[in-house]
């Protein structure tokens, strides 16, 4: 009886190659998922930083141009100018997370998206009228805190 040599793969070799290929695909898939999670986290952080700039620019502009600044019982900033117009900044807490809005003589405008978790408006120095602002912004799993102090315009 002559034995002939047959070429091909055994079932064990095929199974081992399938397992190795499966492990490689699993590792590559997990790397891609981690990359997408990191990208989403960074996009949320960038959006929160953009929103914080919008909030601070609007508040700073109005506070620096206001001649009389008060914080009412609801915790809203009320600014009045020389021309008699009144601007009020308030956080709409009817939705969660909250949203910063500006009421300019009856015309209400949204300043931020619904991203404000907590906020504080304080007058630190009654003589100088220095305003302290604190916001904690939240989007998905990211959070961003901003603190700032503003002086109103110089009084003559």
pLDDT tens readout for residues 113-128: 999 998 988 888 767 6
pLDDT band for position 156 (cuts 50, 70, 90): very low
Tell me how far apart the alpha carbons of residues 125 and 115 are, in angstroms, rounded to a whole number.
29
Q: Is the pLDDT of residue 5 over 80?
A: no
Rg (alpha carbons) of the chain, rounded to whole number: 29
Cβ neighbour number for residue 64 with a 10 Å cutoff: 14
Q: What is the pLDDT of residue 23?
A: 96
pLDDT band for position 2 (cuts 50, 70, 90): low
What SS3 string covers 132-146? EEEEEEEECCEEEEE
Tell me the average pLDDT of the chain.
Answer: 85
Kindly provide the residue ranges of all beta strands, DSSP E only, lying in 35-114, ordered along the sequence.
68-71, 77-80, 86-92, 99-104, 107-110
pLDDT tens readout for residues 23-78: 999 999 999 999 998 998 889 899 999 999 999 998 888 888 777 788 888 888 88
Q: Is the pLDDT of residue 154 over 60?
A: no
Tokens representing residue 111 in the block = 């300043």
Contact 83, 76 (CB under 8 A): no
Mean pLDDT to the nearest integer, 99-104: 89
Q: What is the DSSP letter of 126?
A: T
Phi-psi region of 49 (alpha: psi -120 to 50; beta: other; left: phi over 0): alpha
**Listed residue (29, 33, 148, 54) closest to 109, CA to CA:** 54
């Amino acid at each position: 009886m002559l034995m002939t040599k047959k070429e091909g793969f055994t079932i064990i070799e095929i199974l081992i190659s399938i397992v190795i290929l499966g492990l490689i695909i699993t590792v590559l898939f997990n790397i891609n998922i981690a990359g997408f999670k990191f990208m989403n986290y960074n996009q949320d952080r960038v959006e929160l930083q953009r929103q914080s700039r919008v909030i601070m620019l609007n508040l700073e502009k109005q506070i620096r141009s206001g001649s009389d600044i008060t914080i009412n019982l609801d915790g809203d900033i009320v600014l009045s100018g020389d021309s008699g117009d009144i601007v009020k900044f308030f956080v709409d807490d009817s939705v969660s997370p909250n949203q910063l809005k500006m009421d300019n003589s009856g015309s209400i405008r949204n300043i931020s998206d619904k991203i404000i978790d907590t906020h504080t408006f304080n007058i630190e120095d009654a003589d100088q009228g220095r305003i302290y602002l604190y916001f904690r912004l939240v989007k998905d799993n990211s959070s961003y805190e901003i603190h700032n102090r503003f002086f109103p315009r110089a009084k003559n």
